[in-house]
Chain A
Amino acid sequence: MRVLVLIVSATLTVAISGTAQAFCGFYVAKADTSLFNRASQVVLVRDGDRTVLTMANDFEGDVKDFAVVIPVPTFIERGQINVADKALINHLDAYTSPRLVEYFDPDPCVRYEYDMLGALKSSMPRASAELERRAKASGVTIEASYTVGEYDILILSANESKGLIRWLNDSGYNVPRGADKVVGSYLKQNMRFFVAKVNLEAQKKSGYSYLRPLQVAFESNKFMLPIRLGTLNAKGEQELYVYALTRTGRVETSNYRTVKLPSDTEVPEFVKAEFGDFYRSMFEKQVQAQNRRAVFLEYAWDMAWCDPCAADPLTPDELRKLGVFWTDNPERSRVSGQAQNVFVTRLHVRYDQEHFPEDLIFQETGDRQNFQGRYVVRHPFAGKASCDISSYQAQLRERQEREAQQLANLTGWDIDDIRGKIPLIADTKTDQPGSWWSRLWN
């Protein structure tokens, strides 16, 4: 039996859908360039109060226009900031992606277990004197400024939001309207602002043509992701993928419902060619079914293995680079051998201000049950039959009808369109090879 696995990665998913996205912070353009940011991917490593946040985006404008403002719960020192390799997130994305699994029906003339599937279930703005002077006048404190990789980074605090907004605007950042209330709210909650923009010289030297993910490590009892700023400059809904890496178990949101994506469903063969479309339609249908208020669980798995594997599990080295600090303990890794003691949760949320008024708050649960978004295509037997296969064909037709209906339910696609794309059903309408009379004189 051949099993092929197709996946649809986070970036691909959104790239085709073409909806406007923004980051969980907000992008502030240096000029009035139309910034088109498609999807945010955030890796959240969390154990106890320790958090490592890795933020990636597929920003495609001119890098000189890139700037991002992210609320952070504590002061961040230089050593707490890092620039990561985008390949890490791509690997994690591939490993956790919803997958299409392909099976090929065996020769119905050879007697063995038919339903194999059942068995398988199972020096930043170089803080110039001018900047500082303006900052002071606006009640803004530049707590620190660093250059890390290709980014110039400022850690800002302020007495009040208006001063901070004025300072950002005066410094050439283009802050979206309505930001002052949200910024004010975060300031009152003692949060700082992490402002990053691209240092063009450093970027040239780095040799990367794209922006690498920023990483921040900090300690805080807040296990959350600030999404409110991201809704301000958004054109409609935004797409966010959160990959949580924890020691204990699955992560869920505590202030929004976390719903499992429908999974383990058999779908017609043609879905293989349109898996991206299928996944997007299904996701949109599920979002609607939950009144656009749910966070979706797409993957929850022990990082030590996978079945079927959309990509290999991440290596200990990759995990450490993403911020998994607890596997450093040499004793533990010696004892556990292959087991990495890392549980990965992939959450996917499509959000806007109306349906997600509050930031996402997470909690780690003790649930280590594995879950994956998995869809199954079963190809009918295509070889030459050496016996009467009418009963196989009858079963096949039933199966194809069932698959058509399941697909319609999952995606909201028109059932007749679906039926039209399934070859056997269309053919059999005329010659009905399975009927009792066809067997009489053949």
Chain B
Amino acid sequence: MDAIAQFASRCKDPRYYQIAVLSLLVIFGVVALDFGILWTNAFLIVSAALAVQYFGTKLTSLPRFDPLSPLITSLSLTLLFRTDMPALAMLAAAIAIGSKFIVRINGKHVFNPANIAIVSLVLLSNHAWISSGQWGNAAIGAFALACLGFIVLTRARRSETTITFLIAYGTLMFGRAIWLGDPLAIPLHQLQNGALLIFAFFMISDPKTTPDARIGRIIYASLVASVAYVIQFVFYATSAPVLALAVCAPVVPVIDAIFRGRIYRWDLPKAFPKAISKGVYQ
């Protein structure tokens, strides 16, 4: 009975759900959408991420090796990052996990691991890119993604980052269309993008790299949406939200210094007894 109880309590860790949903998305992408995901790359990314996490854990004398976060990072990389060079796939995983151990301020890592790996390699190499249009924009698909993502997010109980980002980004898209006199089909089309939803639900939502206080997260998400808008419509770069997150990440320590909050810990669901006792997501 103890074992079952232990298993049940471990399942409260929202990362299990994230891993399940991201894996489903990878399968959906490969089977239904013919994405061009290379299994070799996926395998290399996962292995390299776990290896770097393992050595990082040893070197920094962390109490235990935690495979969950590197798995999530690997799946995000598999979904969003494209390269024709296996070595770059491994490098992406190494940068992602390595950045967690190296770039730290006040006990928190600064960059979302998958995000900084993608952005640095896309900027530095011709062999790396993001296929943001490949999810298509079938409304039903987007809806399904959103729902699945939302479950993951509410388990993590920091959903205001995602919600604020989507509202802010959506407002900017609709605002622009109204200003230009464009039909609303255009912003709707821009928002029904699988890559955007994956970003909103699985990348910017990362509680480890967003501000600790709720107000801080709301400010941060609005900032990312605004920067994404500028990147998209002033610099005409594709995959603007992903780039915007990397640009804005260094602001998080500043926001944390102004608005104090509790650093998020995946393994301590009991630190939030109230949220759990409400029972909404149990």
Residues of A within 8 A of B (CB): 181, 184-185, 188-189, 221-224, 248-249, 252-260, 290-291, 293-294, 354, 357-358, 361, 363-369
CA distance A269 to B277 in the complex (A): 70
CB distance from B233 to the nearest CB of A (A): 8
Chain B residues contacting A184 (CB-CB under 8 Å) are 180-181
Note all chain A residues with C-beta closer than 8 A to B267. Answer: none
Contact: A358 with B189, CB < 8 Å?
yes
Q: Say yes or no: is B66 at the interface (Cβ < 8 Å to chain A).
A: no
Is B226 positioned at the interface, with any CB of A under 8 Å from its CB?
Answer: no
Measured between beta carbons, the chain B residues less than 8 angstroms from A223 are 236
Supposing A188-B179, A257-B136, A293-B137 touch, asked if A361 and B238 sit within 8 A by C-beta, the answer is yes
Chain A residues with CB below 8 A from B237, complex form: 221
A365 contact from B82, B85, B136, B190, Cβ within 8 A: B82
> Which among B36, B127, B183 is the interface contact of A357 at CB below 8 angstroms?
B183
Q: Is the CB of A185 within 8 A of B181?
A: yes
Report Cα–Cα, A290/B85, bound state, in Å. 29
State A357–B184 Cα separation when bound (angstroms): 9
Nearest CB of B to A33, in Å: 29
- Residues in chain B near residue A257, CB distance under 8 A: 33, 133-137
Residues on A with C-beta less than 8 A from B17 are: none
- Does B138 touch A at the CB level, under 8 Å? yes
Residue of A nearest to B193 (CB): A255
Contact between B235 and A221 (Cβ–Cβ < 8 Å)?
A: yes
Are A254 and B190 in touch, CB under 8 angstroms?
A: no
Per the bound structure, the CA–CA distance linking A259 and B82 in Å amounts to 16
Q: When the two chains form their complex, are residues A358 and B135 in contact, meaning their CB atoms are under 8 A apart?
A: no
CB-defined contacts of B134 to chain A, threshold 8 Å: 252, 257-258
Residues of A within 8 A of B190 (CB): 255, 358
Q: How far is the CA of A189 from the CA of B180 in the complex (A)?
A: 8
Pairs A-B, 6 closest by C-beta atoms: A357-B185, A366-B127, A254-B238, A185-B180, A257-B136, A365-B129
Chain B positions within 8 Å of A248 at CB level: 126
Query: Does B110 lie at the interface of the complex (its beta carbon under 8 Å from any beta carbon of A)?
Result: no
Q: Separation in Å of the B244 CB from the closest CB of chain A?
A: 15
Q: Smallest distance from the beta carbon of A426 to chain B beta carbons, Å?
A: 35
Contacts of B128 in A (CB 8 A): 366
The digit string for B105-136, where 1 denotes a CB below 8 A from any CB of A, is 00000000000000000000111110111111
- Contacts beyond the supplied A184-B181, A253-B133: 19 A-B pairs with Cβ under 8 Å: A189-B180, A254-B132, A256-B133, A257-B133, A257-B135, A257-B137, A258-B134, A290-B136, A291-B138, A293-B136, A293-B137, A357-B186, A357-B188, A357-B189, A365-B131, A366-B84, A366-B126, A366-B129, A367-B82
Q: Whole-angstrom distance between the alpha carbons of A196 and B189 in the complex?
A: 32
Are A181 and B136 interface neighbours, CB within 8 A?
A: no
Chain B residues positioned under 8 Å from A290 (CB to CB): 136
Q: Which residues of A contact B239 (CB under 8 A)?
A: 254
Contact in complex: A185, B182 (CB < 8 Å): yes
- Quick one: given A254-B133, A291-B138, A357-B189, are A363 and B238 in contact (CB under 8 Å)? yes
Closest-CB distance, B268 to chain A (whole angstroms): 40
Give the complex CA separation of A258 and B34 in angstroms: 10
Are A249 and B126 in contact, CB atoms less than 8 angstroms apart?
yes
Q: B136 — nearest CB in chain A belongs to which residue?
A: A257
Say yes or no: A181 contacts B137, CB within 8 Å: no
A contact residues around B85 at 8 Å (CB): 366
13 contacts between A and B (CB under 8 A): A185-B182, A188-B180, A223-B236, A252-B133, A254-B133, A257-B134, A293-B137, A363-B129, A363-B238, A365-B131, A366-B84, A366-B125, A369-B84
Query: In the assembly, what is the distance between CA of A290 and CA of B135, in Å?
Result: 12
Question: Which chain A positions have C-beta within 8 A of B82?
Answer: 365-367
Q: How far is the CA of A276 from the CA of B82 in the complex (A)?
A: 35
Known: A181-B181, A222-B236, A293-B136. A368 touches B84 (CB 8 A): yes
Residues of B within 8 A of A254 (CB): 132-133, 238-239
